Structure 1
Amino acid sequence: MARQLSFDLPVRPALGREDFFVSPGNAMAVALLDGWRNWAGGKLVLYGPEGSGKTHLAHVWAETTNATILNSRDLAGLDIPSLARNHVAIEDISAIADDRAAEELLFHLHNLVLAEGNRLLLTDTRPAQVWGLTLPDLQSRMQGAQSIGLEAPDDALLTAVLTKLFADRQLFPSPDTITYLLRHMDRSFSSAIKVVAAIDKTGLEQNRAVNRKLASEVLDKLRNR
């Protein structure tokens, strides 16, 4: 069979509230985000493994509250006082651990947002206690924030995640493909992201439909790397 060229076309993830699947493992986080006006101290830490829905929920919250959403590594050069006039969501906080200048900017932003009476959402893969921030006042404020973790996926949630990942890539797997993946892939959000990307790439290269056979071959290839 002739090899088909594969192009890295942009994947446009659906990040609306209607695209987020609520399950027992994330229902409490969704409820807390819905009750953002009542966050203790005006801030919330949301943590969970890669692909667990933190970014999705942060975007839903930002859309609901007209908040600014940014990555912690992008604080340098921003107008902190202007940012603080709105609600703010900051992702990947531990990425700036040991970066004194970035930590000081976050500390300044944290104080100004709360002083303005606005809300601050902070996300990471791990709870604040292990972020490794070196600015003592910042670390203490992060550890003292109300926090909620997203749990590992159950079958219903992992099914929804796989379905969404395929849909984001405009792929339509056969009915037994997702059932097969649930039984044989590593049960994590990061694994789901990797597997769907590999299936998409292989399907494009080989001009094949997304079905159980393709999924099996891709999983075998990923295990043997």
Structure 2
Amino acid sequence: MAARVQPRQLALALPHAESLSRDNFLEGPANAQALALVDAWPDWPNRVMMIVGPEGSGKSHLAAIWAAEAGARSVAAHTLTSVNVPGELATGALVVEDLDPANVDDRALFHLLNLAREDEAYILMTGRTPPSAIRVELRDLQSRLRAVPVVTLAPPDDHLFKALIVKFCADRQMVVDESLVSYLATRIERSFAAARQAVELLDDEALRQGRPVTRALAAEVLKETAA
């Protein structure tokens, strides 16, 4: 008689709350300059500033900290239109998230920068590409973007990288020990995105198998992803 095959259990894709408060921000050499910029407001070298960094490096967290302090609204760059620009600047401070030349309305962005200058408003932009490297059709906008001061987020050092893994685990209510954190830190790419992805995969697999989050499980997950 053939053995009964047990169905593969699926892990439920439940939302995981991530605090974007100042107290929950992990500080380190990689983000020290950007955090100093946020803390220095309103004594900025320019009313329009930009934080640049790779995926998951903390740009949105820093922007949220500044927005809470400055009373700023927040808008995704790709949703900017010439019509909604005045309303977005209503509080005199605005976060423009994920500035990307592929999905930004040149004229809307130019209008925003001009209006901010007229109203003496503050703007904090975030993105993966420095404004000087962004190619736009409007020459005047290109000139404005090149003049925006930039603070760049660096790759995490050892201490910050391990702290990130712990934080991502805590966000998912995962109980982990130091040996597991050290194991992951030495076997995955040293990037914010890789740390987040590894924790997500480990959590999903633990839920699917109904197993505790251990170093042994981590070894299995990493072996599967490398195959």
TM-score under structure 2 normalisation?
0.91
Q: The residue matched to 2:113 in structure 1 has which SS?
A: helix
Change (3 A) 1:77 1:103: closer
Within the candidate set 7, 12, 23, 1:18 is matched to 23
After TM superposition, list the pairs within 5 Å mapping 1:177-188 onto structure 2: 177-188=180-191
Paired residue for 1:92? Answer: 98
**Distance (Å, rounded) in 2 between the aligned partners of 1:195 and 1:157:** 16
Q: Which has the higher contact order (CA 8 A, sep 6+)?
A: 1
After TM superposition, list the pairs within 5 Å mapping 1:67-78 onto structure 2: 67-76=72-81
| Larger helix share, 1 or 2 | 1
The answer as to whether partners of 1:85 and 1:113 remain within 8 angstroms in 2 is no
> CA offset at residue 35 of structure 1?
1.2
Within the candidate set 2, 5, 8, 2:13 is matched to 8
Within the candidate set 211, 215, 220, 1:217 is matched to 220
Give the unaligned 5+ runs of structure 1: none
The answer as to whether partners of 1:98 and 1:133 remain within 8 angstroms in 2 is no
Paired residue for 1:116? Answer: 119
Give the unaligned 5+ runs of structure 2: 1-5
Q: The residue matched to 1:24 in structure 2 has which SS?
A: coil
Paired residue for 2:3? Answer: none
**Distance (Å, rounded) in 2 between the aligned partners of 1:152 and 1:46:** 14
Within the candidate set 196, 211, 214, 1:208 is matched to 211
**Distance (Å, rounded) in 1 between the aligned partners of 2:63 and 2:153:** 13
**Distance (Å, rounded) in 2 between the aligned partners of 1:73 and 1:12:** 25
Q: The residue matched to 1:123 in structure 2 has which SS?
A: strand
**Distance (Å, rounded) in 1 between the aligned partners of 2:125 and 2:176:** 35
CA radius of gyration, larger in: 2
Q: For residues 11-67 of structure 1, what are the alpha-carbon distances to aligned partners after superposition, in whole Å with 9 as ceiling and x for unaligned?
A: 211111011111112111111111121223301110011111101101111111110
Instruction: Please say if 1:170 is aligned against 2:173.
Output: yes
Change (3 A) 1:127 1:116: same
> CA offset at residue 221 of structure 1?
1.5
Taking only the aligned residue pairs, the percentage that are identical comes to 36
**Distance (Å, rounded) in 2 between the aligned partners of 1:85 and 1:54:** 23
Instruction: Please say if 1:60 is aligned against 2:65.
Output: yes
Change (3 A) 1:11 1:78: farther
> CA offset at residue 133 of structure 1?
2.5
